Amino acid sequence: MTDLPLWFDPSQVFISGQWRAPAGGDTLPVVDPSTGAEIARIARGTETDITDAIDAAEAALAGDWGAMTAAERGRILFKLGDLVLQNSDALATLEASDVGKPLKQAKNDVIALARYCEFYGGAADKLTGETIPFNAGFTVYTLREPHGVTGHIIPWNYPMQIIGRSIGAALATGNACVLKPAEEACLTALAFADLAQQAGLPAGALNVVPGLGVEAGAALTAEPRVRHLSFTGSVATGKKVQIAAAENIVPVTLELGGKSPQVVFEDADLDKALPFLVNAGIQNAGQTCSAGSRILVQRSIHDELAARLAEAISALKVAPAMDDADVGPLVSARQKGIVDGFLAQATPDQILAQAALPDGLPEGGNYIAPTLLGHLAPDHSLAQDEIFGPVQTLIPFEDEEDAIRIANGTKYGLVASVWSADGGRQMRLAKRLHAGQVFLNNYGAAGGVELPFGGVGHSGHGREKGFEALYAFTALKTVAAHHG
Ligand code: TXE
């Protein structure tokens, strides 16, 4: 077992720049997904802690934090990005141990977190309003103002990346944040809060309250003093968050995952596409909101691609996170149960390939053999539902219209990719695919912190990342001066 590089006490909440025990005094276990062993305890924050965190955030807005200029906020974010990089080994080890992701994938997440701090640090003093030509005797301009206290509920699959995109943008625009990380993976959220304080972030500008979704999470969404909610997670919980936000007439950004298609035409460069087709499905053991988990292939090359995918997926190595193989365990026994349940729906002829789990994997770990599924009707639940495990599905199509119909034929619409040498076809599909991001002859654009991201349909609404997130974290005020 890896010794956790903890320089803070994870069983405490972080409120107003102070570490303290949760009000209820209870803690929750941190379970290593690679072994099933308990490796730490985190706080079980409750409504009282959430109330205290909101008090602290309000005090920060009324005090040092609210008085800072945009340039000063940006400078703190730059410093924070530096500290993230300086602590990259520790952060990567914490994330790999907590989430179960292979170490190199956790290291990429550290770099992404630092990039968000840099991007939003640089953007802080570049977000401007505009002047609007209007009637004679008027000068009209707009101001972009922070909402105030913002609530952030994040999942366990990419804690660092989601903290970066959400907290980074909210702090850059001068909001004060209350973060409720997922009970399955809180360690890097707490580490980040400590680094933010080291970077000079005033007390109360970022508060972290770990706890259960139904307790701390629900308390945060119910609080009328929270003036914006960002949520990343399941559709079912996203609906509850939106309903709670509606009670308080609060704007909400929802990112709810997907079943994103990768559309492969017969003129695609398969050598280039293959690593993306595989990786977009199995990265982070498939527990990725933007996983490209539906490969749609033109029937003329179906058998060739099926054979190549089968070979690549069968060769994937599964190991504990710190052994840094291709695929680690799933985050929890519960998540493994969900994925096992999906796989149980597949008939033997639908399992086109499956990697072998090596001997000697720790018994308590949540390992799933990477699997390629095929011979599925497009409306089969395995081809419709977010499985959130290392499972790829292969579905044939006849022509461009058929590809678009199947690609758009789920309730989701987060991202999509098109693999084709035909420029006209790329442009046609880019317009017609239902998705918040479309990738032409690539997948994911290596994360792209600069690129607006979010879904349509049940994948959610609102945009994160890039400059778009800054608009979401501000309220626009129009000032009309009549001076004659
Ligand atoms: O999600 P939840 P779960 C999908 C994926 C996965 C499924 C279930 O398909 O199999 O969701 O995962 C907090 N009020 N995604 O159960 O419940 C919770 O504490 C307020 C896709 O983990 O949505 C955690 O912090 N908050 C996804 C966060 O919501 C509540 C990433 C997410 O948990 C709450 C994760 C409540 N009533 C899962 N209940 C993606 N888009 O990437 C829970 N929470």
Mean pLDDT by 10 residues, the chain (484 residues): 87 98 98 98 98 99 98 98 98 98 98 98 98 98 98 98 98 99 98 98 98 98 98 98 98 97 98 98 98 98 98 98 98 98 98 98 98 98 98 98 98 98 98 98 94 98 97 98 98
> Is 77's C-beta closer than 6 angstroms to any atom of ligand 1?
no
Distance of CA 191 to CAs 23, 96, 199, 266, 293, Å? 20, 14, 12, 48, 32
CA 335 – ligand 1 centroid, Å: 11
Q: Which ligand 1 atom is the nearest neighbour of the CA of 182?
A: 25
Radius of gyration of the chain, Cα coordinates, nearest whole angstrom: 23
CA 425 – ligand 1 centroid, Å: 36
> Is 315's C-beta closer than 6 angstroms to any atom of ligand 1?
no
> Is 256's C-beta closer than 6 angstroms to any atom of ligand 1?
yes
For the segment 162-209, what is each residue's pLDDT rounded down to a tens digit? 999 999 999 999 999 999 999 999 999 999 999 999 999 999 999 999
Q: Taking a C-beta distance cutoff of 8 angstroms, is the pair 424, 270 a contact? A: no
Q: Any residues with CB less than 8 A from the CB of 43 and at least 6 apart, and which?
A: 10, 11, 12, 13, 21, 22, 26, 27, 28, 49, 209, 210, 211
What does the pLDDT read at residue 2? 57
Find where tokens 């992701």 sit. 101
Report the catalytic residues: 255, 289
What does the pLDDT read at residue 296? 98
For the four alpha carbons of 189, 337, 295 and 401, in that order, the dihedral sign comes to negative
CA 125 – ligand 1 centroid, Å: 33
What does the pLDDT read at residue 258? 97
Distance of CA 177 to CAs 65, 209, 244, 460, Å? 11, 11, 18, 21
Q: How many other CB atoms sit within 10 Å of the CB of residue 198? A: 13
Count Cβ atoms within 10 A of the Cβ of residue 123 and give its class: 0-12 exposed, 13-18 middle, 19 or more buried. buried
> Is 462's C-beta closer than 6 angstroms to any atom of ligand 1?
no
CA atoms in the 13 A half-sphere facing the CB of 114: 17
Which helix (H) or strand (E) covers residue 416, if one does?
strand 415-419
> Is 460's C-beta closer than 6 angstroms to any atom of ligand 1?
no
CATH of the domain spanning 13-256+462-478: 3.40.605.10
Which tokens sit at 243? 């309903």
> Is 391's C-beta closer than 6 angstroms to any atom of ligand 1?
no
Protein fold of 261-448: Aldehyde Dehydrogenase; Chain A, domain 2 (3.40.309)
CA 388 – ligand 1 centroid, Å: 12
Q: Give helix 159-172 / helix 88-99 axis angle, nearest 10°.
A: 120
- Kindly state the DSSP code that residue 205 receives in the 8-state scheme: S
> Is 192's C-beta closer than 6 angstroms to any atom of ligand 1?
no
Which tokens sit at 197? 């304080």
Q: Report the residue among 101, 153, 209, 243 best suited for mutation to probe ligand 1: largest number of ligand atoms under 8 A from its CB.
A: 153
- In the chain, where are the structural domains located? 13-256+462-478, 261-448
Q: Which ligand 1 atom is the nearest neighbour of the CA of 387?
A: 9
CA atoms in the 13 A half-sphere facing the CB of 422: 11
Q: Which ligand 1 atom is the nearest neighbour of the CA of 237?
A: 23
Q: Give the residue among 186, 145, 192, 130 at the shortest CA–CA distance from 165.
A: 192
Atom 44 in ligand 1: residue holding the nearest Cα: 213
Q: Report the residue among 237, 259, 290 best suited for mutation to probe ligand 1: largest number of ligand atoms under 8 A from its CB.
A: 237
